[in-house]
Structure 1
Amino acid sequence: MSIWVRIGDFITSVATNAISAVIEAVRTVFEGDVKTRRQVAFSIAMIALSAKMAKADGIVTQDEIRAFRDIFEVPPEEEAHVARLYDLAKQDVAGFEGYAHKLANLCSDGQPDCHLLEDILDGLFHIAKADGHVHEKELEFLARVAEIFGFDEEKFEQIAMRHIEQGQDDPYRVLGLRRGVSLADARSRYRALVKEHHPDRLIAEGLPPEFIAIANRRLAAINAAWARIEKNLEAA
């Protein structure tokens, strides 16, 4: 069953106009089905947080809406449910921290090696950069969400480097490597990252197949960084 059908059924059953209440209801409604709970919670998180972030710099641009739809391939019959959630969330920026904390529990139910929170940040970065620039307010929003999700500054920078240049364009920082690393150690790190972020593995953890574009873009960024590092080290 498509994740959108599940979300549609879920939204119909939850009579509320508060996005935080919708997120709170996910754990109860899908109790006993961890994978579905993660898929639904992840999807709602992407809808709600992307709407909040798009509003963070004071305006929701057409580029951001197109980027949103680039990630969300929503069937026409389910668009009304998604639009309802998006409209609820984009009313203002206030309130995102509360349900970001709730979403931080996505990976706390028996699966410590879980990447859904990183998937959410990658998706948000994709939307933030859609108009050609990640604005200061958007970056502050993303950094705060990352902090709530438990990522330290180094990890946030590693994620950010896959999407935007922060000073020097450095592929080593994309892979979390120090300059001076050996070719063997760099290759080992690269292979570990490819295995860790392979789309099939992420789907098994709970990433809805409808959002696989996020995982594919991340893997492409990792591959591109490795290609530059490998060329540099082999020439040394």
Structure 2
Amino acid sequence: MRIWGKFFGGVIGFMFGRFFGALLGIWLGHLYDKRMAAAQGESAGSRQAEFFNTTFAVMGHIAKASGRVTENDIRMATSLMDMLRLSGAARKDAQQAFREGKEPDFELEASLRRFRRITFGRREVQQMFLEIQIQTALSDGELQDKEYAILQVIARELGFSSFQLDELLKRWQAEFRFQQAPGDHRPSVADAYEVLGLSESASDQDVKRAYRKLMNEHHPDKLVAKGLPEEMMELAKRKAQDIQAAYDRVKSSRGMR
């Protein structure tokens, strides 16, 4: 059953017309879904559905890799659903995808190949997908061998090297520590450098160049333009905020303008 047209139509309608606007949006979305079902080939609606389904299915697969799904795994998936404001049928679809990913016969590589096809040429979107899976693997604070093996498969199928995966892992771990710094303590400069993917020996020009590159890769508007569902804008915004905070911390430590 196609629900994405009704979901997005309802949200848009509610924004502009509250209850009756939502009804109008859902009705228009229903007509859109019917057209989408009849249309041949891939479409924006089906790509968005595939994006969500693959995201949560692979999250479920990683969560099960350690032998059992932990409370942290469930909390991570639930938090992402909450952040994306998924409810009703959309949330049920995400939950079902998560359950399917936990099944022993889940075809990880086939799923990733379909995902790579629908996101072809959208490198930033593929990287965000990989980073979501990295966060799932590290949700309990440690990375197990089976989880790392799955991340390697994901990276390979999406065209990322082992080196790039390891760099993203280090960066995310530093970002987590950066975010968890107590309210009365500034995040460490060392973690700020890790978030930017730099060492403390980097020049001021290197710092500026790395900051511009990361902000360009993670700018919310650019990601949406490249195919990231708008519901994932909050993730992109948070990532951009972390990059900005790390850059400000490094600038302050160096006395840069």
TM interval, short-chain normalised: 0.7 to 0.9
Deviations 1:75-133 (A, max 9, x none): 1343333333222221127521222122222332xxx3531111111211222222232
Calculate the aligned-residue CA RMSD, in Å.
3.2
Deviations 1:146-173 (A, max 9, x none): 12111112321232123225xxx65445
1:82 paired with 2:94, answer: yes
In the alignment, residue 97 of structure 1 is paired with which amino acid? E
Change (3 A) 1:189 1:132: closer
Distance in structure 1 (CA, Å) of the matches to 2:144 and 2:165: 16
Residue equivalent to 1:161? 170
1:198, CA displacement in angstroms? Answer: 0.8
Distance in structure 2 (CA, Å) of the matches to 1:161 and 1:77: 36
User: After superposition, where does 1:1-236 map in structure 2 within 5 Å?
Assistant: 5=7, 31=41, 33=43, 35-72=44-81, 73-92=85-104, 95-108=107-120, 112-164=121-173, 171-177=192-198, 180-234=201-255
Distance in structure 1 (CA, Å) of the matches to 2:241 and 2:148: 22
Distance in structure 2 (CA, Å) of the matches to 1:55 and 1:95: 14
1:42, CA displacement in angstroms? Answer: 1.4
In the alignment, residue 162 of structure 1 is paired with which amino acid? R
Distance in structure 2 (CA, Å) of the matches to 1:77 and 1:192: 38
In the alignment, residue 126 of structure 1 is paired with which amino acid? Q
Residue equivalent to 2:18? none
Does the aligned pair in 1 maintain the 2:171–2:197 contact within 8 Å? no
Unmatched tracts of structure 1, length 5 or more = 14-25
Distance in structure 1 (CA, Å) of the matches to 2:165 and 2:129: 12
In the alignment, residue 61 of structure 1 is paired with which amino acid? T
Does the aligned pair in 2 maintain the 1:71–1:213 contact within 8 Å? no
1:37, CA displacement in angstroms? Answer: 4.0
SS in 1 for 2:123: coil
In the alignment, residue 81 of structure 1 is paired with which amino acid? D
In the alignment, residue 85 of structure 1 is paired with which amino acid? A
Residue equivalent to 1:23? none
Change (3 A) 1:113 1:76: closer
Does the aligned pair in 1 maintain the 2:113–2:157 contact within 8 Å? yes
Distance in structure 2 (CA, Å) of the matches to 1:102 and 1:77: 23
Does the aligned pair in 1 maintain the 2:4–2:90 contact within 8 Å? no
Aligned pair count reads 212
Change (3 A) 1:38 1:30: farther
Distance in structure 1 (CA, Å) of the matches to 2:162 and 2:252: 28
Distance in structure 1 (CA, Å) of the matches to 2:234 and 2:146: 25
Does the aligned pair in 2 maintain the 1:56–1:93 contact within 8 Å? no
- Larger RCO: 1 or 2 (CA < 8 Å, sep 6+): 1
Residue equivalent to 2:23? none
Does the aligned pair in 2 maintain the 1:199–1:215 contact within 8 Å? yes
